[in-house]
Amino acid sequence: MICNQRALLHAAPIADMQTEKIRENGVSYGLTEAGYDVRIKQQVNLNSGERFVLASTVERFQMPSTLVGVVHDKSTWARRGLSVFNTVIEPGWNGWLTLELTHHGHGTLYIPAGVGIAQVLFHYLEWPADYGDGKYQNQENAPVGPITT
C-alpha cells in the first residue's frame, strides 16, 4: 500500500517536507497526491558526449522503519530524454539521496539547481525493518559515488 498525503506528513520520511506542490521553472516539487517530488541540488548540463551524472537531492531523508521509498522518473524530464535510476530508499536510512541521471536524448539537457527532478513513492512495510549501519547510512550532502568496501 502506498503512503500518501496526510499519512506521509505524519510519517515524516523527509526533513522539512514541503506540504504542498510548488511549480518553479515549469517543474513541480513537494508533496503530491501519491508521493513526494524531490529537487536536485546541483545544476546539471548533460550533452551528447556525457550522458551520465551523479547528483543529490535538496531534501534530507529520515526514513522510518515502516516505510520504503522508490525513486521514479518525473514525466516532465522523461519527455526530454532523462531517466532517473529507480533507487530504493531503505527503511531506517538517513541522509541526502544520490541520484543517478542518464540522458538518452540528443543535444544538451540543462537542469537548473532546485527544480523537481524525481518522484518518490513510499510504501508501507508489513513488518518494520532497519537499514542499520549500511555503507550508505548518513550519506553526506553531496553526490556520493559507489562504495565498494
Catalytic residues, which ones?
Answer: 100
Judge residue 111's burial from the number of C-beta atoms within 10 Å of its C-beta, 0-12 exposed, 13-18 middle, 19 or more buried.
Answer: buried
Show the CA angle centred on residue 73, arms to residues 104 and 115, nearest 5°: 95
The closest of 123, 125, 130, 129 to 8, measured between CA atoms, is 123
d(CA 44, CA 103): 11
- Mapped onto helix, strand or coil, the DSSP state of residue 74 is coil
Length of the chain: 149
C-alpha cell at 68: 520504503
d(CA 114, CA 94): 20
